[in-house]
Amino acid sequence: MFFRKIGAILIILMIFTGFSVYNSKKLSEKISVQEPAIFEIQGNKAIMVGIINENIVYEVENLVKNHPNVKTIIMLDVPGSVNSNENLKAGRIVRTNNISTIVPKNGYIASGGTVFFCAGINRTIGEHAKIGVHSWKNNVVTDASKIPRDNHVHKPYINYFKEMGISDEFYWFMISSAPSFGIYYLNEYELKKYGLITS
């Protein structure tokens, strides 16, 4: 626990001193060296760092139950998720509780981290932040972009983004932007075009 907290503090220090994670050829390589997502409470904000896993619903429920004054999640470094279903559930809890999401200056989110970010009632992205997307895969689907659009496997994401006020156009762009083992970083035009930024 001590080293986990120290690691989180180091990441926070690196972010605010200009450090940023840029290159990741394979998301799986990045996941293998990351701790599970945690929330550090600072006043009415929660600092989020780490990989979203099967415990994310518990973590978010704990956040809203024990810290009802928190209305903003600052996503410093959330490079992905290893459980998409739980990630979507957690995102809906964020939206139900009218919590905003922010990626600060030099912050980094990708894959499931970007999906989670979209749950914010208000969404803000700081200067030089990296917002990564790609196709997804699971034990059955090897690459979502290869599955016909009318297939039911797309529905969970399409419905989720619709609930967050984001059109399915973003979903189709997301899964076609890069293969599941790659990453594509959205530019400012794309962030605005697809409605990821609300303020």
| 198 domain residue, yes or no | no
Tell me how many domains the chain contains.
1
Least confident of 11-15, 124-128, 139-143: 11-15
| 153 domain residue, yes or no | yes
| 199 domain residue, yes or no | no
Q: Does 145 have pLDDT greater than 60? A: yes
Res. 18 pLDDT band, cuts 50 70 90: very low
By CB atoms closer than 10 A (0-12, 13-18, 19+), residue 23 is exposed
Mean pLDDT over each residue of the chain, to the nearest integer: 86
The reported pLDDT for the residue numbered 166 is 97
Q: Does 32 have pLDDT greater than 90? A: no
Distance CA 95, CA 194 (A): 18
- pTM, whole model, 2 decimals? 0.84
What sign has the CA pseudo-torsion 83, 88, 158, 71? negative
| 184 domain residue, yes or no | yes
Residue 171, domain CATH: 3.90.226
Tell me which residue has tokens 């499931």. 112
| 95 domain residue, yes or no | yes
| 135 domain residue, yes or no | yes
Range of the domain at 122: 2-193
Q: What beta strand segments (E) does the chain contain? A: 38-42, 45-49, 72-78, 100-103, 108-110, 123-125, 130-133, 184-185
Distance CA 161, CA 155 (A): 10
| 107 domain residue, yes or no | yes
| 145 domain residue, yes or no | yes
Q: What beta strand segments (E) does 104-175 contain? A: 108-110, 123-125, 130-133
pLDDT mean over 136-157: 92
Structure tokens of 172? 């189709």
